[in-house]
Structure 1
């Protein structure tokens, strides 16, 4: 048995990556810390309750992670002695080389969430940055306005009204570093107002759920079907007054909230004096008809609209916004929140003012539509028995199969071929749903790689079926 060290594992900083279920994130964080040598062999891990408090997650997530890593041989445990690191492997340098080689094996990354980073308008951004540097008043080069750079708020007010059907003045717009930062501030404000629960879509974006939980709010998962969030279920939850919804393009299913449910959701907010946090996810990219307008434009007194540049330009820009009116301006009360740099805000304001942002969006919509069409053609040829969903908008689609294959086997088989995919179940809170599938992102894959990537996925599907058919020893 490995000798136990007196060095406490909880002095090691663990970072959750926000991808997938919380217990899987804890697993990955601990596994990486062990493999890299940051947590050495024999180190005693903290009790599950203490590590859960450090990571701001549930104790269950930590105990599940410990159990899995014991099964894999990274940890050992004994009643009365706690849990300690039992794995002894390669050095940190070797682990880094192995990790780099592992990343390099992903020739095709079909995970959702990334735009086409090759298409970032470098020249136009640089021109806008030079113009902003020349024209930003000296007074604005100090500490930024907590609500955001006024010229950008004015530009966003105009843009959101004409392109998204929102109702917004510059005074209603707040600039933040992204949707996650906006949600964190808004949920902290809800907690301060005495609201302790918030409804979320199931399945939904895992990173956003983690942000919400970090503020102390309890999640109330609400199922999503072919018409979007099942709004009628909100009335069954006593004292529920807040919900987060991706009405224009639900993540990850890709469905649009149906008209009768849009009206039902607004009616619910008015009856309960509640608030709808509307994440305007992927709303700019709709291919077969005009984009759906915002809920906020229908009921600005009960809807806070959120958006960012993460999908339209790049997450590296670090600019997002929300629009809040009426009583929900109280959500801004509390400690000051540092937003993006004034120079970046001024640069984006210039990009919008000269029309370059609108031109970029139109060009990207054409580019993504062509790529989506190529993906659909390839899927119909290579995987004709799979059902495609959510392809009318956005940068991803879903794939399901009548046989409901084991997506763990499929993910492994795809990885063996250098293709990264993400199972639909990774975005679920309630895993009792029997139908699983794949969430396939195509935003950041090169056009020339679409055919080879889908052929690789088809081969992985065939390989996974052979593995599933093999008798277990």
Structure 2
């Protein structure tokens, strides 16, 4: 064992203290990690050229202070429970997250419900039938087999018009945004209208891609098209089926207004169908794709991140040639395509009907969780309302008007409930009514009930 340590013999600081200070500082800096094994006292003494008793004394003091532990037969180690000081999370998608009993953050995919056996079957079939050419770099637009299956599936389930030649396979919606950041300026677009409230990371990502994000208000009918007209932007990003994070569906009137805006101005609409296929509102059919109303002006984008797993990095878009061509040119400059074997497996997953079967199961599970959530809110959060149709993996809970949202979120964390307040999704501080944005699909029924009950214990204390 070796450790990068030095001691200064002519220092006023005793050698034992120098060793102690060094080890403490390395632990605090994250250089020596919990569980890291240190040299034996004899080895370190030989390495430093000091008496072994100096090292034994230093180690003994660090054990007494809780920095090190002496394990019989395993030497001296940094204690395993040491770590960085607890941090108060932003409750967005970045940084460390504290350990809690109930994690109600939205955006968490249904990992426990990944169809492992069916996916393995599809992957094996894809491998067995793959040609030698399928192991080469894939076409920038995606392997033809998947583009054909996506055209069939998106037309059948979502009402998306378009041929396989209009479809492009991408590595998730983040890559779609990145490619649009390169393609839209070629069409004279330097700003992108974005729903407010909306996804905070998307606003930042759009800005980093070179486009100027312009927040546009969302109400009970979806994005405010009159505000869009007044903004002067020539492109807008919307989530019409299940707005993120409010959960509202773009009304038929607003859909028609939005399509008319695109045709009249020559503008572009990016339709983010981020949780497509997850719709379980009884008695109300899922809205068809906005692209149907203005196929020459709408880029439809979808992903498998919510329905399967984000780790697959599988997404897709259907776009008119005027946008698809610059998208392909942008990708050819920076990318060599999406994993071809994963594409072939997903094509088989779609073709065999296994994806449809998986979605039926997932929708049934999410409907069950949503019903538990709504009942728990009625029981434990008086005056609160769950908004929007039953769809996706999250729901927005509007709180009583006088609720101190920030205090509720902080109080919930003290009770081991991690939840996001709606304020984090607004472009400016102080906008919007108090609300919570809750992910419910990843928790068991009892977990949802228990978490909302804990929120209820905090709510009464934070009402203004």
Equivalence for 2:269 = 276
| Cα contact 2:263–2:294 (8 A) shared by 1 | no
How far apart, CA to CA, are the structure 2 residues paired with 1:191 and 1:92? 51
How far apart, CA to CA, are the structure 2 residues paired with 1:413 and 1:351? 44
How far apart, CA to CA, are the structure 2 residues paired with 1:444 and 1:245? 25
SS at match of 2:290: coil
Counting only pairs closer than 5 Å after superposition, residues 304-453 of structure 1 correspond to structure 2 as 304-332=299-327, 333-334=329-330, 335-453=333-451
| Cα contact 1:141–1:342 (8 A) shared by 2 | yes
Deviation at 1:94, TM superposition (A): 3.3
SS at match of 2:292: coil
Q: 2:293 aligns with which of 274, 294, 298?
A: 298
Alpha-carbon deviations, 1:216-236, whole Å to 9, x = none? Answer: 111111000000000111211
Deviation at 1:123, TM superposition (A): 0.6
Q: 2:134 aligns with which of 135, 140, 148?
A: 140
Q: 1:150 aligns with which of 144, 148, 155?
A: 144
Equivalence for 1:131 = 125
Displaced runs of 4 or more, over 6 A:
90-93
Q: 1:187 aligns with which of 164, 178, 181?
A: 181
- In terms of mean alpha carbon deviation, does 252-261 or 338-347 score higher? 338-347
Equivalence for 1:242 = 235
Deviation at 1:434, TM superposition (A): 4.8
Instruction: Please state if 1:285 is matched with 2:278.
Output: yes
SS at match of 2:214: strand
Deviation at 1:98, TM superposition (A): 5.6
CA spacing shift, 1:135–1:434, aligned 2, 3 Å: closer
How far apart, CA to CA, are the structure 2 residues paired with 1:295 and 1:450? 33
Instruction: Please state if 1:94 is matched with 2:89.
Output: no
Alpha-carbon deviations, 1:361-398, whole Å to 9, x = none? Answer: 11111111111011111111111221221243222111
Q: 2:209 aligns with which of 197, 207, 215?
A: 215
Structure 2's unaligned 5+ residue stretches are 1-25, 32-77, 88-95
Deviation at 1:115, TM superposition (A): 2.6
| Cα contact 2:195–2:216 (8 A) shared by 1 | yes
| Cα contact 1:285–1:394 (8 A) shared by 2 | yes
How far apart, CA to CA, are the structure 1 residues paired with 2:418 and 2:433? 21
Deviation at 1:437, TM superposition (A): 1.2
SS at match of 2:179: helix
Structure 1's unaligned 5+ residue stretches are 1-33, 40-89, 469-473
Alpha-carbon deviations, 1:332-364, whole Å to 9, x = none? Answer: 223243432111111111111110001101111
How far apart, CA to CA, are the structure 2 residues paired with 1:434 and 1:253? 11
SS at match of 1:147: coil
| Cα contact 1:414–1:460 (8 A) shared by 2 | yes
How far apart, CA to CA, are the structure 2 residues paired with 1:213 and 1:104? 29
| Cα contact 2:365–2:441 (8 A) shared by 1 | no
Instruction: Please state if 1:161 is matched with 2:155.
Output: yes
| Cα contact 1:284–1:361 (8 A) shared by 2 | yes
CA spacing shift, 1:35–1:357, aligned 2, 3 Å: farther
How far apart, CA to CA, are the structure 2 residues paired with 1:269 and 1:92? 58
Alpha-carbon deviations, 1:409-456, whole Å to 9, x = none? Answer: 111111111111001010100234251211111021122312111111
Deviation at 1:404, TM superposition (A): 3.1
CA spacing shift, 1:391–1:453, aligned 2, 3 Å: farther
Tell me which structure has the larger Cα radius of gyration: 2
How far apart, CA to CA, are the structure 2 residues paired with 1:125 and 1:214? 35
SS at match of 1:445: coil
Deviation at 1:401, TM superposition (A): 2.5
How far apart, CA to CA, are the structure 2 residues paired with 1:36 and 1:136? 51
Q: 1:253 aligns with which of 246, 254, 258?
A: 246
Equivalence for 1:267 = 260
How far apart, CA to CA, are the structure 1 residues paired with 2:79 and 2:238? 45
Deviation at 1:150, TM superposition (A): 1.1
TM-score of the superposed pair, with normalisation by structure 1: 0.76
Equivalence for 1:37 = 29
Two-structure CA RMSD over aligned residues (Å): 2.3
SS at match of 2:126: helix
CA spacing shift, 1:376–1:196, aligned 2, 3 Å: same
